[in-house]
Amino acid sequence: MSTTFQLDTSTSRANPTPAPMKRLTVPAIRQRKQGGLTVEPIVMLTAYTARQAQLLDPHCDILLVGDSLGQVIYGLPSSVPVTLDLMTAHGAAVVRGSYHSVVIVDMPFGTYEASPEQAFASAARLLKETSCAGIKLEGGEAMAPTVAFLTERGIPVMGHVGLTPQAVNVLGGYNARGRSEAEAAKIVRDAQALADAGAFAIVVEGVVEPIAVAVTEAVPCPVIGIGGSARCDGQVLVTEDMLGMFERVPRFVKRYEAIGDIISGAAARYAAEVRSRTFPGIEQTYQPK
């Protein structure tokens, strides 16, 4: 028995609760791919809050606390301004709201690139303060020594190749990668270098489909696609994108719901009832006995 947290849906509070831990593990995710084949694809979505994690957790294998929270939660122009403090706070919330999924937290820009030692200090803080299972960092061959440094010191690492949003200023935008032979070959080499360094899984983002397939076939660890291919070992999306919270979504996103319209409609009905003084009604007010 271990002490974890249970989110009380009636109060929205997380209460310490003794419960058997049945959470998936990083080795279990890594072992999904055997002999180059993943029979059961890995399901991964982003989560930024305890309540969101609670709703997604039963359906996912991995919850990613992505630095995409910069745009999704805070309205920033990119993920570059996201800080370690933000990732720590949101990572801890997602861990508290989940029981089943492996929780991985993004390392924000500027917290790991300078040296393996800098990366270890940042990653160690994330693991200590959030209780997450591992971290994700962007970059290929150049980051392989850092991945090896971290994994050798007990920190599980998920890699990220192809379109790397933290490098948007170098890439010049969010266009699909791998259209030239040279770039395609580099993406495959990047993935191989990360796998050789000990990454337990690799995200491949925003690449032309043959490259996503080539990466998946080239490395022994699971490859999780976002804007890649259904032939990857798993898939990840930004939850708010697939729920239709924004008017515009990337080409590779499928909208499974139109939550934005539902919220806007509910707010409009509420506003109309407040202005007409029909809310609150007898059911929502305390009457004398």
Tell me the Ramachandran region of residue 18: left when phi exceeds 0, alpha when psi lies from -120 to 50, beta otherwise.
Answer: beta
Q: What residues contact residue 244 under an 8 Å CB cut-off, 6+ apart? A: 255, 256, 257, 258, 259, 260, 261
Q: Which residues pair with 43 in a beta bridge?
A: 235
pLDDT in tens, 23-60: 999 999 999 999 999 999 999 999 999 999 999 999 99
Q: Which two tokens stand for residue 285?
A: 């007010």
Segment 96-101 shows an average pLDDT of 93
pLDDT over 90 (residue 101): yes
Distance CA 44, CA 48 (A): 13
User: Is 183 part of any known ligand binding site?
Assistant: no
Quote the pTM value: 0.90
Question: Longest Cα pair distance anywhere in the chain, in angstroms?
Answer: 79
CATH superfamily of the domain spanning 2-284: Phosphoenolpyruvate-binding domains (3.20.20.60)
User: Is 22 part of any known ligand binding site?
Assistant: no
Using the Cα atoms of residue 128, residue 203, residue 62 and residue 30 in order, give the sign of their dihedral. Answer: negative
pLDDT in tens, 65-92: 999 999 999 999 999 999 999 999 999 9
pLDDT over 70 (residue 185): yes
Domain ranges of the chain: 2-284
pLDDT of residue 258: 96
> Please, is 66 exposed, middle or buried when counting C-beta atoms within 10 Å of its C-beta (0-12, 13-18, 19+)?
buried
Segment 125-145 shows an average pLDDT of 97
Bridge-based pairing state of the strands 33-34 and 37-38: antiparallel
> Please, is 52 exposed, middle or buried when counting C-beta atoms within 10 Å of its C-beta (0-12, 13-18, 19+)?
buried
Distance CA 239, CA 253 (A): 10
Distance CA 42, CA 116 (A): 29
Q: Which two tokens stand for residue 205?
A: 């983002």
**pLDDT tier at 7, thresholds 50, 70, 90:** low
Residues catalogued as catalytic: 205
| φ/ψ of residue 251, rounded to 5 | -55, -35
Segment 183-204 shows an average pLDDT of 96
Place of tokens 């305890």: 50
> Please, is 39 exposed, middle or buried when counting C-beta atoms within 10 Å of its C-beta (0-12, 13-18, 19+)?
exposed
Contact 4, 99 (CB under 8 A): yes
User: Is 261 part of any known ligand binding site?
Assistant: no
Q: Which residues pair with 177 in a beta bridge?
A: 207
Distance CA 267, CA 1 (A): 43
User: Is 136 part of any known ligand binding site?
Assistant: yes
Q: Which two tokens stand for residue 128?
A: 């200590």
